[in-house]
Structure 1
């Protein structure tokens, strides 16, 4: 096994964050800080990429299908499906508007992702979020505030007993006031990279890394390494080779490299790493005493 297989990726910052607050939001805040630090480096290698998912047209097809189904079902608001025929009355307006809203909601739900890739001297930092319009969240926040105000006014007039039947609606309204896009972060230190795989059809560089994660039970908090992957989508195939060369340079040696035409023919490198018996570090924190113990284990195949 090459040197990166033996590195310890458990950092003091991560351990202290988890020890203080066993909350994934606190971890994402730490990773977000690390991403911002990498972004401030302003590396010329940095880039953004959109990933539509398995098919670039799948959400359009599903949205069109949703519109057609909604339109056909609502067409029977009038006897014998008369509402399917365009008209200027309220029933047709309700039918076409509802169908369009359903189609737009479906289109947004099946949106792809946009990735931000940032490089510095120590790591590759990735931020990902759903590639959907910001107006969706703005509308949700406005709707939440309007509904919350309505709930407060009704409570002033009719008393808190009104929430016995409408408590769920009130809670949902208050929750919507803070709705915003939530990014997902990944940090891949160069010394955590075990394998590199280029998947040509997907325009993807897949990095197999040792990643730090945590879990807890009634007595202990476990901060440990696991084998994971980071996907770098890059549609300039010449630049893909430049990025791979840069990674090898930062690592300090040529990382074991694989190349495949598509996902189906790609090598399962996470399984390969487990079969190899990659040593993984683990810190166990006693919740009562906060005493920490360290051990090394191997993942099940």
Structure 2
């Protein structure tokens, strides 16, 4: 029988029909909305304090700038950096794999791409009318503009091959680690799916160990935990 190298084993893993699969929509940070409002409030207070102690044109400019920055930065933090995520997990006889992707409206990517094309146009006109020296000190911005013209969602993939041993760590917050002899696989498992996943893992591994951990008990007060918003399947 031909022995497959690791790359071939991974290809076989993705090509094999799933034995068990589940899909979730996750809020990656349960406190993200409060942090967003708090950040905006801090910027507004700083701007107001600046205007109070310096009620001249420079103070007005600083206050308006802070509010303007907050109006863009806070939605960026909430709806792009901490957007909901879609996680899809698969188990078959060769191992496990997952894909995760942020749920961001396509209009957001379109705005970024079009803004990048505007930046590219500005760089081209600057090079034509000012010369190559226009890029001195702004080379990074020019390179970023050209790079962001293809800005789009790219799913993140991860996988873990079975080797006969599995240690299943399940945390009360629903995050889990499935450890083999050489690798580990991080995933999020709803409580109602634990039994089915355990039975599937036991089916394809000679040794199966499990451990349940209450990570809420001694967690820091402001630690962020993922929240399952929807079990798609």
Shorter-chain TM-score above 0.5 = yes
**Is the CA contact 1:148–1:173 (under 8 Å) kept in the aligned structure 2?**
yes
SS for the counterpart of 2:152 is: coil
Between the aligned partners of 2:180 and 2:111, the Cα distance in structure 1 is 39
Match of 1:196 in 2: 168
Q: Label 1:10 to 1:195 Cα distance change in 2 as closer, same or farther (>3 A).
A: farther
1:256 aligns with 2:209: yes
Match of 1:70 in 2: 43
1:182 aligns with 2:154: yes
Q: Label 1:80 to 1:34 Cα distance change in 2 as closer, same or farther (>3 A).
A: farther
SS for the counterpart of 2:183 is: strand
**Is the CA contact 1:51–1:114 (under 8 Å) kept in the aligned structure 2?**
yes
1:246 aligns with 2:200: yes
Between the aligned partners of 2:62 and 2:41, the Cα distance in structure 1 is 17
1:100 aligns with 2:71: yes
**Structure 2: segments with no counterpart, 5+ residues:** 56-60, 219-233
Match of 1:48 in 2: 23
Q: Deviations over 1:242-283 (max 9, x none)?
A: 1110111122x3512222233778xxxxxxxxxxxxxxxxxx
1:205 to 168, 176, 180: 176
SS for the counterpart of 1:46 is: strand
Match of 1:288 in 2: none
The aligned length equals 212
1:233 aligns with 2:188: yes
Between the aligned partners of 2:212 and 2:89, the Cα distance in structure 1 is 21
Q: Deviations over 1:101-138 (max 9, x none)?
A: 12112223344643211233422211123455444433
What CA RMSD, in Å, does the superposition of the two structures yield over aligned residues? 3.6
Q: Label 1:137 to 1:228 Cα distance change in 2 as closer, same or farther (>3 A).
A: farther
Q: Label 1:134 to 1:202 Cα distance change in 2 as closer, same or farther (>3 A).
A: farther
Considering Cα pairs closer than 8 Å and 6+ residues apart, tell me whether 1 or 2 has the greater RCO: 2
TM-score, normalisation: structure 1: 0.58
1:60 to 33, 50, 53: 33
Q: Deviations over 1:196-228 (max 9, x none)?
A: 1222x1223320025xxxxxxxxxxxxxxxx43
Between the aligned partners of 1:166 and 1:66, the Cα distance in structure 2 is 29
**Is the CA contact 1:204–1:233 (under 8 Å) kept in the aligned structure 2?**
yes
**Is the CA contact 1:190–1:247 (under 8 Å) kept in the aligned structure 2?**
no
